Structure 1
Amino acid sequence: MNLAQPDRQALHAFARAMPKAELHIHIEGSLEPELIFALAQRNGVALPYPDVEALRAAYAFTNLQSFLDIYYAGASVLLHEQDFFDMAWAYFLRAKADNVVHAELFFDPQTHTDRGVPFAAVIDGLHRACVQAHDQLGIRAELILCFLRHLSEEAAFATLEQARPHRDKFIGVGLDSSEVGHPPEKFARVFAAARALGLHAVAHAGEEGPPQYIRDALDLLHVQRIDHGVQALNDPELVARLARERIPLTVCPLSNVKLCVFKDLAQHNLRELLRQGLVATVNSDDPAYFGGYINQNFVETLDALGLDAAELVTLARNSFEASFASDAVKAGYRARLEACCREHGIAA
């Protein structure tokens, strides 16, 4: 039976059950306070918070920088390969519960190598978790190395050089950290070098920064998708281009509200992005800090914006289209989505 107008409870169940890809997840941002304290104890790291509750209470952010200050403090407990494995494995268990079938994880090696942690410890721990996620959970997982844009071009080149011996363990490069004041052009040469290695390219743009940063990420960094991109609607010509070229946007609704990009979820522009024909997707960004993994983002957003079943299906389809999976793998994902639609009486 096809439900023409599923009720809210049915939509919640469908949103949770849909197979989906997560394309904007900072693995360091999945580090829950409980694991932060467990790793701090294991590694003898002193934290500036007395307990889990005090740390979680500090998650009251006014902008991106106020979040990053705590984010980097939390990452200080990550010292050994096993720490990075444990962090990623904890995320994969949650992703499995949310029916994520494909995940492309951002990681920030400079956050760790600048503290003296060997690059190999970072990527080997994460890669081992990705392999185990595929073998034990059926989740295809890949890694994307992100350069910290508040650091120099020279530091980014040094990180890319450190990554060369591990080229088989990651599929792309990205650009994250403080957006305002750090335009994409700063990293044009290092992105060119990464593309020459056959790596995919993505970049954060148009979250707090202007639409021009999105244009520059496309034209100067030659990225294949835009992370966030919610400011695109302020530039109609850019919107037309994004729709025409099918450039994906990896949108993170709860994160956007937590960082005050939107006053509340009801004011988010995700639905308008879809109506403009953009390849928008739903993701969790830094879920340990922003109050929800991917299904929580789906459920709260569908409630706040009144998304319908067709829009949910479009978001899931978009996530597969926007992924760096092969065409054959994408076809398999779409088939699983169609089967889920039939099971829930939703028109595919």
Structure 2
Amino acid sequence: MTDPNVPPAISAFVATLPKVELHVHIEGTLTPELRWRLAQKNEIALPYATYEALLASYATMYNHRRELHGDNGLPTFLEAYYGGMEVLRTEDDFYDLAMEYFAKAKEMNVRYTDPFFDPQAHTRRGVPLEAVMRGFERAGRDAKEKYGVVVGWTMCFLRDMPVEDAVATYEAALWAAAQLGSNEYDRPPRLFADIFQRARKDGYKITAHCDVGQKDTHEHVREVATSCVGGMQGADRIDHGLNAADQPELLALVKARGLGLTLCPHAYHRRLPTDWVFGSIKKVWEAGVPFSVASDDPTYMHQQWVTENLGKVMHYCGFAKKDMAKIQRDGVAMSWAPDDVKRAILDELNEFEKGCK
């Protein structure tokens, strides 16, 4: 699904822009084609009799939160998201999932990405942690060699699961940055303060979701920006966090802490007014708070990948080409890429901008 309001010239420009993608859930890139193939390979029954029926299910505007908005008879986003994971069983399944995204990333001129992955969502289904980790780790290595995409994985703790399970998962898998995701309803970041402080001491980067429109979202942003997550300096960045634009003092706190936001515009635009979404992004921009633009869960969000999200931002915010290049530079600065990778991307952006009129 493309946004008919975004001019073709903007779409063409953002397609060629060298990019980083800092907010994409690898399980949220599971295509209907791969899901169907893995279901057949692993002999898993899907609730769809035909591939066409499965494909049609991806076009549904999923009810975002039943606990807030009631039950409309459709699966919530998280139900669809976790339901898709049922086909992922072996190391090769996780490898194939990641490599399919990395091939897409190359097509979109993504130079660096640090995808989120949800080990607890797989181990609670009986999938060995080793299968998850080895599949993704192998794909990360092959992505650089085959596609020229540098990968830095970010492991998520599911905040709607017990904190003790997050601790056990952390101890079993100690090679990724740490993130807090899944359903935030009545699960504030401070519940996980101890494990994040431990991760900080172990030298890991830290971030957390502060979902847009979530209950207590402003307090969640405040907690992530301060000592409740990651020690006295707070997290290293905030995922989503756009509601900080609602409160000038909160936006000022985020800026003072030197935090950037990873924004996924279509994730908000699919359920919130255009003026609020892009007006809030403009407030963040005007306040001088850095942000990157990413896709979140593109296959479950109308096939809106990082290019489509950037096109929306450029069009609805009225940004110039140089502004779009700055967003990528800010993303590079916010990223956890090695310094040599950062320098290479920045050099490429400088050359790219010279050719922009």
TM-score normalised over the length of structure 2: 0.88
The 1:328/1:121 distance shift into structure 2, 3 A limit, reads same
Q: Which residue of 2 aligns with 1:178?
A: 183
Out of 298, 303, 306, the position equivalent to 2:310 is: 298
Counterpart amino acid of 2:249?
E
**Equivalent-residue separation in structure 1 for 2:89 and 2:205 (angstroms):** 28
**Equivalent-residue separation in structure 2 for 1:82 and 1:64 (angstroms):** 33
Q: Which residue of 2 aligns with 1:20?
A: 19
CA deviation digits over 1:133-176, x for unaligned, max 9? 11111111011110001011111111112214xx3xx2x01011
Q: Which residue of 2 aligns with 1:62?
A: 63
CA contact (8 A) 1:64 1:178 kept: no
The 1:286/1:64 distance shift into structure 2, 3 A limit, reads farther
Out of 253, 264, 288, the position equivalent to 1:252 is: 264
Out of 193, 197, 200, the position equivalent to 1:192 is: 197
Q: Which residue of 2 aligns with 1:286?
A: 297
**Equivalent-residue separation in structure 1 for 2:351 and 2:12 (angstroms):** 15
CA deviation digits over 1:12-36, x for unaligned, max 9? 3331111111000000000011111
Q: How far apart are residue 194 of structure 1 and its match?
A: 1.7
Q: Which residue of 2 aligns with 1:337?
A: 349
SS in 1 for 2:155: strand
**Higher alpha-carbon deviation: 249-258 or 36-45:** 249-258
- Matched ranges for 1:181-220 at <5 A: 181-209=186-214, 210-219=217-226, 220=228
Q: Which residue of 2 aligns with 1:324?
A: 336
Out of 220, 236, 256, the position equivalent to 1:224 is: 236
**Higher alpha-carbon deviation: 215-224 or 306-315:** 306-315
**Equivalent-residue separation in structure 1 for 2:290 and 2:341 (angstroms):** 19
CA deviation digits over 1:224-254, x for unaligned, max 9? 0000011101221111122233311000011
Gaps of 5+ in 1: 1-6
Q: How far apart are residue 64 of structure 1 and its match?
A: 4.8
SS in 1 for 2:61: coil
- Matched ranges for 1:1-348 at <5 A: 9-58=8-57, 59-64=60-65, 66-164=76-174, 167=175, 170=176, 172-209=177-214, 210-219=217-226, 220-221=228-229, 222-258=234-270, 260=271, 262-264=272-274, 267-268=277-278, 269-291=280-302, 292-345=304-357
Q: How far apart are residue 329 of structure 1 and its match?
A: 2.7
**Equivalent-residue separation in structure 2 for 1:64 and 1:27 (angstroms):** 21
Q: How far apart are residue 326 of structure 1 and its match?
A: 3.2
Counterpart amino acid of 2:189?
P
**Higher alpha-carbon deviation: 206-215 or 312-321:** 206-215
**Equivalent-residue separation in structure 2 for 1:246 and 1:327 (angstroms):** 19
Q: How far apart are residue 190 of structure 1 and its match?
A: 1.2
CA contact (8 A) 2:152 2:337 kept: no
Counterpart amino acid of 2:190?
E
CA deviation digits over 1:179-221, x for unaligned, max 9? 1211001111111222222111110014233211011112211
Q: How far apart are residue 113 of structure 1 and its match?
A: 0.2
Counterpart amino acid of 1:200?
K
How many residue pairs match? The answer is 332
CA contact (8 A) 1:266 1:305 kept: no
CA contact (8 A) 1:206 1:232 kept: no
Q: Which residue of 2 aligns with 1:3?
A: none
Q: How far apart are residue 271 of structure 1 and its match?
A: 2.5
**Equivalent-residue separation in structure 2 for 1:325 and 1:311 (angstroms):** 22
SS in 1 for 2:27: helix
**Equivalent-residue separation in structure 1 for 2:256 and 2:276 (angstroms):** 27
TM-score normalised over the length of structure 1: 0.91
Q: What do you get for the CA RMSD once the two structures are aligned? A: 1.8
SS in 2 for 1:199: coil
**Equivalent-residue separation in structure 2 for 1:206 and 1:49 (angstroms):** 30
Q: How far apart are residue 300 of structure 1 and its match?
A: 2.8
**Equivalent-residue separation in structure 1 for 2:146 and 2:38 (angstroms):** 24
Counterpart amino acid of 2:224?
A
Gaps of 5+ in 2: 1-5, 67-75
